[in-house]
Structure formats: C-alpha cells, structure tokens
Amino acid sequence: MLLEAVNLTLRTMERRTRYYRNLVIGVSLTILGSLTLALAFHAWRILVGWLGAPLGVTGFLYLDVQQLRGWRDQVLAMRDERGLNVAKLQLTLRALRYIPERTLRSMFATLDREVPGR
C-alpha cells in the first residue's frame, strides 16, 4: 500500500509538472505570436491576444487544484480505509532526492486542512 501511495504521488507530481510546462509554452507562444503578428501587420490591436495568457493561467490553476484534490482524497481514503501511515509516506518520498522539497511539503500540507463543502 505504501508503494501504491508513492506511485500515486509521483504520477500526480508528473501531471502537475506537465500542466505547468504546457502553461509556460502556451503563454510564451501566445505572447510571442501576438507580438510577431502585430509587428508584421502593423496592427497593434492584435496584441489583444495577450489576454489569452490569463485564461491559460486560470485553466492551469483549475487543473492543478483538481489534480491536487484528487491526490489528497485518494491518500486520505488510503489512510482511513486501509491504514496508510502518512508520516511514513512523507519520509519515503523525502528520501527520493529528485523530488522538490517545497512541492512535497505543500502537497502534504493539504492533508492537514479540512476542505470547506466536502
């Protein structure tokens, strides 16, 4: 069960990283594309395309929260139904040196809070 929780955590972190990478690429292409088209056509109204960046960030935040909430719910279910030791899970993941400490800390901080409306 500990291995299952470790794999769940690693998959969640990989998805969150992929979403972030796609956000950076999308926002960069949107800004660069709008600027290039505005310069090419001498139409500064094309720069309105930059408004796509906040939409991309909003979409990223929504998907990230959904990923984190799903991970949290599954880990808490493992803890409550199958006796997962969350402290041991956290120690095991910290032993993996390639995992960013701050990301891990922030994910485990969500386990301590109650989510309103749930």
Per-residue pLDDT at 20: 95
Per-residue pLDDT at 113: 65
Per-residue pLDDT at 48: 84
With H, G, I as helix, E, B as strand and everything else as coil, classify residue 50.
helix
100: left (phi over 0), alpha (psi -120 to 50) or beta: beta
pLDDT (tens digit, 9 = 90+) per residue, 31-89?
A: 999 999 999 998 888 888 888 889 889 999 999 999 999 999 999 999 999 999 999 99
Whether the predicted pLDDT of 114 surpasses 80? no
Per-residue pLDDT at 115: 52
Per-residue pLDDT at 51: 84
With H, G, I as helix, E, B as strand and everything else as coil, classify residue 114.
coil
Contact of 5 with 75, CB cutoff 8 Å: yes
